[in-house]
C-alpha cells in the first residue's frame, strides 16, 4: 500500500472526523489545540518529529478506516522504524494529544451543561434530583417524598488506589489550559483579544509538552492526600452547596432563598487516603494523623475565608435590621473573649451587628486552625450554633433573603464537611489482625507490626478527640470471612487503650470480597450483631449498619458475569436480613473505575440494585482517574452529584423496586444459566496450567508495577505464579493496556450462547435493569478493545490454546452484545459514547504499536540480560498514553 500524498492525507483525516459527527464547537477546539501542539512539535528542536508524528497518525487512521491487513502492517512498520529515542518522542506527542482531546471533550460537556442551566426548563431534566422528587411524589405523595429527600445520603469515598496514570504536574497544566479555553470562548463571544488567549494557550501547551509525563518516584501517602485536597479546594468545597441550592431552587420556585430550605445536606465525603493500610506498609499511624491534619487545615481555611467574605457583605444597619436578643448576647460573649479584635471590628462596622459577629466568628475559625485554645471552637456544632443565631436574628429582623442566601450556603458547608472535611476511614486485612492477636496472646514484647496495629487505634482516638467523632471511626476489615474477624477489631482497640484507657468510637465494617464470602455474608452478619461491642454500637446509632462489597476480587475470582450476578444476590440477601432485623442498612460499594472492577455509569447501576438495598443511601469508592474525571471540574461535579442523588432517590420508588423484583424473578433461569456457563468458561482460561505466567508475558503486567502511580504495591508477593498473587488493579490495567479488556467481559459470550434465545435476551435487555447495565458496560469495554492489536499481544506468548480461547470468546461476546442491543455495531444505541471511542481509537492504536515494539524487545531479550532502560521507558510512556487515550486504567 502506497504512502498517501498530503492531499490524500488531509482528505482521509477530514472524512474520518466527519464520520464521527463531532459537534462543531468541539471540533474547532480539537483542531485549535492540535494545531498548537503541532506548532510546539515543530519548534521543539527535534528535526522531523512533527513529520514522523503525522506519518504515524495518518497511517493509523488509514488502518482504522480501511480495516485491511496491509494498512495495519504499514502502520506497524512505521512504528517499528523509529529509533528508540524518536519512538519516545512520538509516544509523548500522542499522549499530549490525548490530554488535549480529553480537555476539549470535557470543555464541550461543560459548555452543554451551562447552556442547559441557562434554559428555563433546566429543573425538569429527567435525571435531576428535582425531577426524581416529582416522580417519587407522584407515587408516594408529597409528604413521604419530602421525608425521603431529607433523609437522602450520597457518600463518595476517595481512595489512593494507584489508577491515575498522569502526573499531578500534568493535571495542573491541563486545569490551567481549561481556564484558558474558557477565556478563549469569552474572547470569541465578546470580541476580546483572541490572539492573546491563543498565545497563552500555546505557552501552556508548550509547558505540557516539556513536562515529564512519568513520575520520577512513587508518591508518598501524604502526597496522595494533597492531591485529593486539590479536588476539594478547586471544586467540591463550592460545588456541593451549589447542588443543594439548585435542588432547593427547583423545588421551592420563586420562594427559594426567601424562606428556610427544604433541602438538607445529603453529601458526605469519605477518604481512604492515608487510612487504607491493607497491603500498603507506607500508611502508618503517623501518616493517618497527618492526613487528618492536612484535611482539617484545608476545610478550616476554607470556612474561615467564606465566613469572612459573607460577613463583609452583611452591611445591614441596625435600624433597618435590628439584632435579636440572642445575637446581642452572642456579641457580648465573643467580644469579651477577643476584646482588641472586637473593638477594631466594631469601629470598622459601626451599627452593623450581623457583620461584626461573622467577622469575629472568622477569627475563631482561624484560632481553631492555629490551635489557639483561648479562642478556638471545640467542635463544628458550636460554630453551627453561632451561625444559626445570626440566621435567626436576620429572619426576626425581616431579612430572610440574607438569612437564607450566602449564609445558608455556609451552613451547608459546615454541615457537610465539619472541621474534618473528609471522614477518614481505616482499612486493614483480617489476617493481619489475627496474626497480631495471636502474637499478643503469646506474651513477650510486641513486634513492630503489632505495635503499629495498636498505634492505629490510638490515632483514631486522638483524631476523634481533636476533630470530632465524624473525623474517623469507620474501620473496614478486608477479607471478612467470619464474625471473629470483626470482633478482633474491638479486642485490638481494648488492648491499645490499656486498662481504664479511653476507647475510640468504632463502626466496624465487614468487607466481603470473594464469591464464597459474598454467599456467607448474611450468616456472618447474623453472628456479629450478637457480639457485645457490636450490639452496643448498633443500638447507639439507631441500629444503623454499613456493609462493604468488593467488586474487584469477586470479578477476578469467578469472572465478571458470575461476579455481577453474585453481587446482586448478596445485596438482596443482606437487605432482606437487615429488614427482618430492623437494621438501617447502608451498602458500601467498592467499585473501581474500570468495568472489570465494578466501574461504569453509577446512576444506571444504582437503579438496577435489588429492592431495599439502597433505601435512600448510597456509598461507593471513587478511585484514581475517576476522582478527577467526575470531580475535577465544578460543572461536571455538580452534574454527577445531581445525577447520582436522583438515582438514589428513585431507586427506592415502588415502581423501580417492583421492576427489579419482577425482572429478577422472571429471568432467574436465564441468570442461573449465564452464571454456570460464564464461570465454566472463565475457569477454563484462568485455571489452565501456566495461565498466570502466560498472562504476565502477553501483557505489560510486570512493567505496570514499575509505574510510580501510587504508594501502594501492585502485587502481594515477589512473583506472579497465580491470580491470588496479583491485586485486582494490575489485573484489569494489564488487560486494558493489551487492548483486550478481558476483565470486563470474558465469559459473557458463552453465557449468552448457553441461553441461546435471541428474542428472550432482547426482552431481558428491555425489562431487566441488571442485565441491561451488564450488557451496556460490556459493550463499552469491547468498543475500547481492538482485535488486531490484541492478536499481536497474544502472540507474545507461547500458548496458542489460551490465545485462541481469548480470541474466540471476544468474537462470540461481541456478536451476542450487538444482537442483544439490536444494532449493527457496538454502542450503536449510545452514539455520544460511540463517537468518543471512535475518535480516539486510531490514536490509541499508534501508542499500542509503540508499546508492542517495546514489549517485544523486552520479552525477546536473552534470559539474564540486563533490562534495556530505553525500551522500558518507552513502554512506560506508552502505558501512560494509552491510559489517557482510553480514559481509564484499573
Output the CA–CA distances (angstroms, integers) from residue 696 to 188, 699, 810, in the order listed. Answer: 51, 6, 19
List residues with catalytic annotation: 161, 556
Return the DSSP state at 275: T
Scan for cell 407522584, then name that residue.
138
Tell me if residue 427 falls in helix, strand or coil: strand
Scan for cell 450556603, then name that residue.
409
CA distance linking residue 249 with residue 246, whole number of Å = 5
Exposed, middle or buried by CB within 10 Å (0-12, 13-18, 19+), for 854? buried
Exposed, middle or buried by CB within 10 Å (0-12, 13-18, 19+), for 687? exposed
Scan for cell 482521509, then name that residue.
12
- What are φ and ψ of residue 715, in 5° steps? -140, 165
Return the H-helix or E-strand segment holding 473.
strand 472-478
Return the H-helix or E-strand segment holding 791.
helix 787-794
Exposed, middle or buried by CB within 10 Å (0-12, 13-18, 19+), for 328? middle
Cell of 363: 477569627
Exposed, middle or buried by CB within 10 Å (0-12, 13-18, 19+), for 506? buried
Distance in Å from the first CA to the final CA of the chain: 37
Cα Rg of the chain (Å, integer): 28
CA distance linking residue 412 with residue 389, whole number of Å = 15
CA distance linking residue 547 with residue 509, whole number of Å = 6
Scan for cell 456472618, then name that residue.
524
Cβ neighbours of residue 98 closer than 8 Å, sequence gap 6 or more: 840, 843, 844, 881, 884, 885
- The answer to whether the Cα torsion of 725, 729, 731, 733 is positive or negative is negative
- The answer to whether the Cα torsion of 603, 606, 607, 612 is positive or negative is negative
Exposed, middle or buried by CB within 10 Å (0-12, 13-18, 19+), for 206? middle
Tell me if residue 316 falls in helix, strand or coil: coil
DSSP assignment of 546-603 equals: EEEEESHHHHHHH-HHHHHHHHHHHHHHHHHHHHHTT-EEEEEEE--SSGGGT-S-HH
| Listed residue (248, 200, 194) closest to 36, CA to CA | 200
Cβ neighbours of residue 676 closer than 8 Å, sequence gap 6 or more: 754
Exposed, middle or buried by CB within 10 Å (0-12, 13-18, 19+), for 787? middle
Return the DSSP state at 122: G
Cβ neighbours of residue 643 closer than 8 Å, sequence gap 6 or more: 127, 128, 602, 603
CB-based contact 74:1 (threshold 8 Å) = yes
Establish how many alpha carbons lie within 13 A of residue 498's alpha carbon, considering only the half-sphere containing its beta carbon: 3
3-state secondary structure 654-714: HHHHHHHHHHHHHCHHHHHHHHHHHHHHHHHHHCCCCHHHHHHHHCCHHHHCCCCCCCCCC
- The answer to whether the Cα torsion of 125, 126, 128, 134 is positive or negative is positive
- What are φ and ψ of residue 488, in 5° steps? -60, -30
Amino acid at each position: 500500500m502506497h504512502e498517501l500524498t498530503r492531499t490524500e492525507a488531509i482528505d482521509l483525516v477530514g472524512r474520518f472526523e466527519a464520520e464521527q459527527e463531532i459537534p462543531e464547537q468541539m471540533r474547532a477546539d480539537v483542531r485549535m489545540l492540535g494545531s498548537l501542539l503541532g506548532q510546539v512539535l515543530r519548534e521543539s528542536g527535534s528535526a522531523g518529529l512533527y513529520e514522523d508524528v503525522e506519518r504515524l497518525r495518518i497511517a493509523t487512521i488509514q488502518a482504522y478506516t480501511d480495516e485491511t491487513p496491509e494498512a495495519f502492517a504499514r502502520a506497524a512498520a512505521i512504528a517499528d522504524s523509529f529509533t528508540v529515542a524518536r519512538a519516545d518522542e512520538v509516544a509523548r506527542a500522542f499522549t499530549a494529544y490525548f490530554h488535549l482531546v480529553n480537555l476539549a471533550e470535557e470543555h464541550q460537556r461543560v459548555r452543554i451543561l451551562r447552556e442547559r442551566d441557562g434554559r428555563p426548563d433546566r429543573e425538569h431534566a429527567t435525571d435531576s434530583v428535582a425531577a426524581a422528587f416529582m416522580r417519587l411524589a407522584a407515587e408516594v405523595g408529597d409528604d413521604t417524598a419530602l421525608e425521603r429527600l431529607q433523609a437522602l445520603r450520597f457518600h463518595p469515598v476517595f481512595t489512593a488506589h494507584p489508577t491515575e496514570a498522569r502526573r499531578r504536574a500534568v493535571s495542573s497544566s491541563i486545569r490551567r489550559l481549561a481556564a484558558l479555553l474558557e477565556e478563549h470562548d469569552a474572547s470569541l463571544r465578546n470580541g476580546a483579544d483572541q490572539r492573546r488567549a491563543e498565545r497563552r494557550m500555546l505557552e501552556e501547551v508548550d509547558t505540557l509538552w516539556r513536562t515529564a509525563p512519568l513520575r520520577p518516584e512513587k508518591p508518598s501517602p501524604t502526597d496522595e492526600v494533597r492531591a485529593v485536597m486539590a479536588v476539594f479546594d478547586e471544586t467540591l468545597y463550592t460545588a456541593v452547596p451549589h447542588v443543594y441550592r439548585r435542588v432547593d431552587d427547583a423545588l421551592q420556585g420563586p420562594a427559594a432563598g426567601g424562606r428556610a430550605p427544604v433541602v438538607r445536606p445529603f453529601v458526605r465525603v469519605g477518604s481512604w487516603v492515608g487510612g487504607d493500610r491493607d497491603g500498603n506498609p507506607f500508611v502508618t499511624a503517623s501518616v493517618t494523623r497527618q492526613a487528618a491534619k492536612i484535611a482539617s487545615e484545608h476545610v478550616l481555611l476554607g470556612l474561615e475565608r467564606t465566613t469572612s467574605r459573607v460577613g463583609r457583605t452583611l452591611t445591614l444597619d441596625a435600624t433597618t435590621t435590628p439584632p435579636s436578643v440572642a445575637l446581642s448576647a452572642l456579641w457580648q460573649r465573643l467580644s469579651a473573649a477577643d476584646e482588641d479584635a472586637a473593638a477594631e471590628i466594631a469601629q470598622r462596622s459601626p451599627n452593623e451587628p450581623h457583620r461584626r459577629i461573622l467577622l469575629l466568628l472568622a477569627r475563631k475559625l482561624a484560632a481553631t486552625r492555629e490551635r489557639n485554645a483561648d479562642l478556638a471552637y471545640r467542635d463544628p456544632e458550636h460554630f453551627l450554633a453561632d451561625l444559626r443565631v445570626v440566621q435567626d436574628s436576620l429572619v426576626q429582623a425581616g431579612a430572610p433573603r440574607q438569612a437564607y442566601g450566602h449564609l445558608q450556603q455556609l451552613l451547608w458547608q459546615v454541615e457537610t464537611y465539619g472541621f474534618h472535611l473528609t471522614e477518614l476511614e481505616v482499612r486493614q486485612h483480617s489476617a493481619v489482625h489475627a496474626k497480631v492477636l495471636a502474637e499478643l496472646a503469646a506474651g513477650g514484647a510486641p513486634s513492630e507490626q503489632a505495635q503499629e496495629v495498636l498505634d492505629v487505634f490510638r490515632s483514631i482516638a486522638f483524631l476523634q478527640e481533636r476533630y470530632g467523632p465524624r473525623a474517623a471511626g469507620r474501620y473496614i476489615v478486608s477479607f471478612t470471612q467470619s464474625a471473629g474477624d470483626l470482633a478482633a477489631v474491638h479486642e485490638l482497640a481494648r488492648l491499645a487503650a490499656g486498662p481504664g484507657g479511653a476507647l475510640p468510637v468504632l463502626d466496624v465494617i465487614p468487607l466481603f470480597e470473594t464469591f464464597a464470602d459474598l454467599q456467607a455474608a448474611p450468616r456472618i452478619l447474623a453472628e456479629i450483631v450478637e457480639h457485645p461491642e457490636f450490639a452496643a454500637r448498633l443500638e447507639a446509632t439507631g441500629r444503623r449498619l454499613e456493609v462493604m462489597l468488593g467488586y474487584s476480587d469477586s470479578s477476578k475470582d469467578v469472572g465478571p458475569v458470575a461476579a455481577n450476578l453474585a453481587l446482586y444476590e448478596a445485596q438482596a440477601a443482606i437487605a432482606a436480613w437487615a429488614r427482618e432485623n430492623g437494621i438501617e442498612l447502608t451498602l458500601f460499594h467498592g467499585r473501581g473505575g474500570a468495568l472489570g472492577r465494578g466501574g461504569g455509569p453509577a446512576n444506571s447501576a444504582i437503579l438496577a440494585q435489588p429492592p431495599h438495598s439502597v433505601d435512600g443511601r448510597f456509598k461507593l469508592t471513587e478511585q484514581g482517574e475517576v476522582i478527577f474525571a467526575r470531580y475535577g471540574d465544578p460543572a461536571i461535579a455538580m452534574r454527577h452529584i445531581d445525577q447520582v442523588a436522583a438515582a438514589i432517590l428513585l431507586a427506592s420508588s415502588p415502581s423501580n423496586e417492583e421492576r427489579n423484583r419482577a425482572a429478577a424473578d422472571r429471568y432467574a433461569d436465564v441468570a442461573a444459566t449465564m452464571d454456570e456457563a460464564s464461570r465454566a468458561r472463565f475457569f477454563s482460561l484462568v485455571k489452565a496450567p501456566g495461565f498466570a505466567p502466560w498472562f504476565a508475558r502477553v501483557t505489560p503486567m510486570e512493567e505496570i508495577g514499575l509505574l510510580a502511580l501510587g504508594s501502594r504495591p501492585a502485587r502481594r508477593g515477589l512473583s506472579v505464579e497465580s491470580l491470588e498473587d496479583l491485586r485486582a488493579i494490575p489485573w484489569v490495567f494489564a488487560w486494558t493496556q493489551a487492548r483486550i479488556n478481558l476483565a470486563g467481559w470474558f465469559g459473557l459470550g458463552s453465557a449468552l450462547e448457553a441461553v441461546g434465545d435471541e428474542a428472550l435476551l432482547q426482552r431481558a435487555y428491555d425489562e431487566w435493569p441488571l442485565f441491561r447495565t451488564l450488557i451496556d458496560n460490556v459493550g463499552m469495554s469491547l468498543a475500547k478493545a481492538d482485535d488486531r492489536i490484541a492478536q499481536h499481544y497474544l502472540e507474545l506468548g507461547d500458548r496458542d490454546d489460551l490465545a485462541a480461547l481469548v480470541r474466540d470468546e471476544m468474537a462470540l461476546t461481541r456478536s451476542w452484545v450487538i444482537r442483544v442491543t439490536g444494532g449493527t455495531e457496538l454502542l450503536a444505541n449510545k452514539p455520544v459514547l460511540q463517537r468518543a471511542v471512535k475518535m480516539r481509537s486510531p490514536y490509541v492504536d499508534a501508542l499500542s504499536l509503540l508499546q508492542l515494539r517495546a514489549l517485544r524487545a523486552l520479552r525477546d531479550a536473552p534470559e539474564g540480560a540486563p533490562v534495556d532502560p530505553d525500551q522500558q521507558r518507552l513502554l512506560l510512556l506508552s502505558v501512560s498514553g494509552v491510559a489517557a487515550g482510553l480514559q481509564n486504567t484499573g
